[in-house]
Amino acid sequence: MRGLLEQLELERVSFPATSRARTLAADVLWYPRLSTDADVLHCPTFRGPLRTRRPLVVTVHDLAVLRHPEWFNRWTATYSRLAVPRVVRAASRVIAVSEFTRGELVDLLRVPPEKISVVPNAVEDVFTPSGPRAEGDFVLAVGTLEPRKNLERIAAAVDAELRVVGARGWGDVRLPANVTPLGDVPDVELAALYRGARCLVYASLYEGFGIPVAEALACGCAIVTSQGSAMAEVAGDDATYVDPLDVESIRDGIARTTPPEPRRGAGWPEVAARTWQVYEEAAA
């Protein structure tokens, strides 16, 4: 959303969820009644009003919480089951970040295809093949520590140091001895890690897009990722695809992957232009 705010003249409306109590208040009281005098209200996640008098645009990144509620805490799973279908139904237009997510919207929520526009996530300018490289012999994984990121199998498949970038999330995610958790890092440091890594392993069990794959590709980092997933839309032939449920498949993918020719996905100017077009369609 920060990139859209920099590219477009938008008025920001927010309720900072700085504690569990405020998160609960936002979900129960603020989002369902959210209103504005703006010509179009854009919610960059599927948290939003259940009904609105103004045209509403909702961005859906994925529907993992509906497809696999067991991966999430009880509140998130329960809230999403009740709220997400209603928020999406209230929207004038829905933005999906990939064709995969578009298909999930049609399949799980019966959203009319003509109501959905596919606008991919943007890649920040800092992710380029030139620049500092992190030192050492390591494999890289990027993502919040949560069950669908598949970190235990990834770590078991890596016969070296596995550096993991991402905040502590939820679920019983155990990190073996070969894992070096780095937490959240600035984009400049993350770009250096992509450049220095043997490869990025992004063998997630479910993703709506796969931003780390796009970032790694822009840096020229070799990529191992899940077959039959949305990541194929991002990387195409420039990744090695593996069975994320099979440790040996992941290990073999790491052994045979090679660095691709660097190429960038959509930048913020393109994403902003395509998003603005959706606003115009919603307001028409």
What is the percent of the chain where pLDDT is above 90?
A: 77
- Number of domains making up the chain: 2
Spell 226-238 as b/e; 16+ CB within 10 A means b. Answer: beebbbbbbbeeb
The reply to whether 110 and 77 lie within a common domain is yes
Q: Are residues 152 and 177 in the same domain?
A: yes
Structure confidence at residue 13 (pLDDT):
86
| Same domain assignment for residues 81 and 191 | no
Q: What's the pLDDT at 162? A: 97
CA-based nearest residue to 88, from 122, 53, 124, 47: 47
Structural domain of 192: 138-256
pLDDT value at residue 212: 97
The verdict on residue 75 lying in a domain is: yes
| 70 plus 165 within the same structural domain | no
Q: Do 161 and 193 sit in the same domain of this protein?
A: yes
Look at residue 128 and tell me if it is in a domain. Answer: no
Same domain assignment for residues 237 and 200: yes
Does position 135 have pLDDT exceeding 90, yes or no? yes
- CATH label of the domain that carries residue 243: 3.40.50.2000
209-235: average pLDDT: 96
pLDDT digits (tens, 9 = 90+) for 157-209: 999 999 999 988 777 777 888 999 999 999 999 999 999 999 999 999 999 99
Q: Residue 53, class by beta-carbon neighbours within 10 Å (0-12 exposed, 13-18 middle, 19+ buried)?
A: exposed
Q: How far does CA 270 lie from the centroid of its chain?
A: 18
263 is a domain residue: no
Q: What is the pLDDT of residues 65-103, one digit of tens each?
A: 999 999 998 989 999 999 999 999 999 999 999 999 999
